[in-house]
Each structure stands twice: as C-alpha cells, then as structure tokens.
Structure 1
Amino acid sequence: MAVSNADGCSLTSDVGEYGRNSDGRALKESNFGMKLVNSTLDLPDPSPLPGQDTNFPFYFAADEAFPLMCTIMKPYPKRGLTNRKRVFNGRLSRDRKSVECSFGMMSSKFRILHTTIGLNINTVDNIVKAVCLLHNFIKKEEGIFSRPRGKKGNDDDIEVENEEEPYPRLSNQRRATNPAIATREKLCDFFLTVDGSLKGQKRFCV
C-alpha cells in the first residue's frame, strides 16, 4: 500500500501485507494507518478551501475499499446516486488517476512486477521498496507526468452547455452526525460552488 502525490511520486509505502487481505485491513495494520487513525500523523493544519471561511482538513483520496474518515475521502455508494454525488465521485476518481498512473508506470518500467516473484518474503519486500525508491528517482529525473506539447488532456476539449452559469448554492439542510460524513458532504457542496467547480464536471451528471 502506498500514498502517491499529484506528480505520481510515492510519499510513503507499506510493504509486506498479504495480497488476499483487504486494503482497509492493510491500512489499519500499517504504521501510516495507525498514525492516521490516532491523529498523530504529521499532516498540515486544516485551512479554508478557496472562497470558504471555515477550516477544512487535508485529506487523502481513496477508493471504496478504504474507510471514510475526515482525512480519507472515498466515493459515495453507487446505489441511489444523485447528480451532486456523481460530481463528487467523478472529481475524486479524477484525483486518484495520478495514483493509478504511478502504479502503471512502476509496472511498465520494472518487469519483475509482471509475475510472481519466486524469492523469499524478505527479499521480495526489499525489491518492492527498491522499486518505489527507483520510481521516485526516475520521476524526478524525467519530470512529472509530462504531456507532449500541443496535446490536449482529457479535460481540455470537453464542451458543456451553459458552462458559464454558476452552480446553485445548496442549502445546509443536510445535517450529518458523523464527522467523516459531514466532511464529505461539505467537500461535495464545495465542488458545486464557483470556486470549487471545474470545467466539464457536469459530464458526470445524468
């Protein structure tokens, strides 16, 4: 299990968990996860989101396999999604692409990851750790996710009707007693504001 930044570099990794165990369990049993749960991880202090006046915690973007926490944002369940929740899920998925690309790059550069490694466990752990370090070194030498000049990204050529119209400000009637749920609701609302929305995100709606 690893944490990747927006540039595709590994910030921390926990190696040695059995693949049959869930991602949630791997997080719970890792030093990183225990510090995150106990609020002893050295994270930046909460600060206001753009255009907002209340503090919001720094968070990690995760998939459905991880627990929802104030510092871990995961998608809404797929069943019964509203358009606002679809936008949130789409934005979170967009953020997680850098992590997916990071693992994809590791696999493409280090062929030893293409198959089962027939070595003792300690050696395998050391190989994986070395791969993470070498990946970061290569990223710093070659640059971050470089895009060929003149080539558009996936979000550059999206046309949306009435894109210039601001998203409506949602009411504050949704009250959640669980702090993690309340944090996700606040972030979901922020993605629908003028300061928090991105061009083309309405494509996630139906």
Structure 2
Amino acid sequence: MCSKKDILALMIIAEVCCEDEAESKTQKPRKWAKDWFLEKERFSNEKLLPKTPDEWRKEAELFEQVSGFPNCIGAIDGKHVEIEKPAHSGSFYFNYKKTFSIVLMAVVNANLEFLMVDVGQNGRVSDGGVFSNTTFAKLLSEGNLQIPQSRVVVPGEESLPYVFVADDAFCVDKNILKPYTGYHLTRQQEHFNAKLSSARVKVENVFGILANCFQVLLKPINLCPEKATIIVLTCCYLHNFLRQKDTPDSVNTTGSNGQSQGDGNNMLPLEPTHARNSTNLAKRTRDAFCNVINHNNNTNQ
C-alpha cells in the first residue's frame, strides 16, 4: 500500500507533530513531508478500500475461511482516542466516559489490515452520529462502494447480501449486521451471535495491536486535535505497511484465543446506540443469515 518514500514521509509527519516547532532541526524534511501530505492526499479512504466487486469477494472468501461467516467483507468498530483537553474547547471533545477524545472509526479485513479509517470527529458526537458522519457511511448508503450483488450461499435458501459485521454501537442495516440482543434468544440466534463475534473480533484485534505497537496511543495525546488526528492516521497506515512486511511479533501476534496480545483498553469503546429503528429489510437480512449459518452448522455436525 505504501512505498518507502511514503513511509518516510509518514514517519517525518509523526515526528513533526510530536516535537516543538521551535526545536526542529530538520526544516527541509519537514517541508517535504508537509508537501507530500497535502499534495498526495494519501490519507483518503479511497486509497484503502477495495475498488471492484472481485476485490470485495476476495475479502469475503478470506473472512469465511478464518471465521466461518459467509459474505462478510469487513468488521466495523470505533474507539475514542484520548487527548488532553484542547485549549478553549469547552465540552466539545468531552465524551460519555468524562474524558476528552477524538474518534477513530475503522473497517478491517480478515488479515487484520485497515480497509477504512476515519479519524478526528470530536468525542462529544452522539453514538449514532459517529458512523453516519463518515465518508464511508455515505458511500455505503449511496451504493458507491462497488459491493457485489447478493449471492445464494446455501441452495434452497434466499440469496444473501455482502455485509459488514458490527456491535451494538451500530444500527442493523441491509449491509451491516450486529448480534441479536435480549434475554430470550433462541439457540439458533445464539449460534449466529457466536459466529458473528468470531468475525467481528478482527477489528478488536487490530485496535489491540495498534496500541501495542504505537505506544503514543497508550495515554492521552498532549497535542491539538488536528495534530492528534495526523498521529492516529499515521499509526494506521504504518500498521498496514508493517502487516504486509516481515515484522516483529508485536505487529503479527495474536493470543491462543485469537485475541491480540494487547486489548486496546486505553482506547474507549463507542457508546452503544439507543436507536431501535432498524428497517424490516435489515431484520429480515439478519434472520436470513441466521438461517444459513445454522443450516451450515447442522450440515457439519
């Protein structure tokens, strides 16, 4: 995804953001990195997302291989990245956990790589508003992601759309699945939830690896929100670069339960959404996935 020149620019950008302007001794590299950042726009999501239906299908095939969940093309989640209170900001960055933060929203694949990153929304944004404010959400709602058409997974069952898996911070949608909730779930619904969790845990793995590898994320970032945003974006891009190379265990290792060695607890989860206005189509889609997953489970027993 990134050339050596790209990586050098990213590292300089991160260093520049972390140091005092008056103490800089690298003005030429600083200017070059700034020009690179402004002109190349390497942080746009379009640089990460699959471009064609075939590329999305490959993501789905890998997810099914590693988690047994069909037609999954990504796991979505978000975290509050803590920052020190910005000057003169009032409660603008004040989140539900009573700290100050910017939000990192991400979609990851089964290889623990970022497919989408959106960073910088203020921590005060309401639970449902964080995702809906992203460029990715707009592309998804407008049908501009080049996602493949639905396919029949099990003969005799209805066709299933390609979907992203998420948790209770999101609303169920025709292309977004989250677990069933409640105290009286059927055995089939519980099995569906377990399968969905095995796919969705990939995004938690990535957040844990990210925090372990880039320890600037282990405590509140003492920079203005704009620079903190660049730091977090840089970490995400370097993470992908390291995942695709021969890298230390801290970037590649997961525990025996499939979880990353770091849990990213320093980054706060999004607040569960209180919205309950999922469409009938979205609910039927989840039920259809539940039927197919339980059919596969019965077949394999």
Common fold: TM-score over 0.5 = yes
1:184 corresponding residue in structure 2: 286
Separation of aligned partners in 2, 1:140 and 1:124: 25
Within 5 Å, which residues of 2 pair with 1:44-193? Answer: 44-51=148-155, 54-142=158-246, 154=257, 178-193=280-295
Separation of aligned partners in 1, 2:209 and 2:188: 32
Deviation of the 1:24 alpha carbon: 2.9
Separation of aligned partners in 1, 2:246 and 2:297: 33
Q: Which runs of 5+ in 2 are unaligned?
A: 1-104, 259-278
Deviation of the 1:38 alpha carbon: 2.4
* SS of match in other structure, 1:15: strand
Deviation of the 1:45 alpha carbon: 2.3
Higher strand share: 2
Deviation of the 1:49 alpha carbon: 1.5
Relative to structure 1, the CA distance from residue 145 to residue 89 in structure 2 (aligned partners, 3 Å threshold; closer, same or farther) is farther
1:162 corresponding residue in structure 2: none
* SS of match in other structure, 1:55: coil
Deviation of the 1:197 alpha carbon: 6.7
RMSD of aligned alpha carbons:
2.6
For 2:115, the aligned partner's letter is L
For 1:44, the aligned partner's letter is P
For 2:204, the aligned partner's letter is E
Q: How many residues align?
A: 174
| TM-score, structure 2 normalization | 0.53
Deviation of the 1:190 alpha carbon: 0.6
1:35 corresponding residue in structure 2: 139
Relative to structure 1, the CA distance from residue 117 to residue 154 in structure 2 (aligned partners, 3 Å threshold; closer, same or farther) is closer
Separation of aligned partners in 2, 1:63 and 1:198: 27
1:17 aligns with 2:17: no
Relative to structure 1, the CA distance from residue 23 to residue 42 in structure 2 (aligned partners, 3 Å threshold; closer, same or farther) is farther
Task: Please say which of residues 38-47 and 134-143 is displaced more in the overlay.
Answer: 38-47
Query: Percent of aligned pairs with the same residue?
Result: 33
Separation of aligned partners in 1, 2:175 and 2:298: 18
Deviation by residue 1:55-113 (Cα, 9 ceiling, x = unmatched): 32110010011010010000111322111111111111111111111110000000000
Task: Please say which of residues 136-145 and 85-94 is displaced more in the overlay.
Answer: 136-145
1:3 aligns with 2:107: yes
Asked if 1 retains the 8 angstrom alpha-carbon contact of 2:158 and 2:288, the reply is no
For 2:163, the aligned partner's letter is Y
| TM-score, structure 1 normalization | 0.75
* SS of match in other structure, 2:284: helix
Asked if 1 retains the 8 angstrom alpha-carbon contact of 2:157 and 2:292, the reply is no
Deviation by residue 1:171-195 (Cα, 9 ceiling, x = unmatched): xxxxxx8111110000000111137
* SS of match in other structure, 2:283: helix
For 1:191, the aligned partner's letter is I
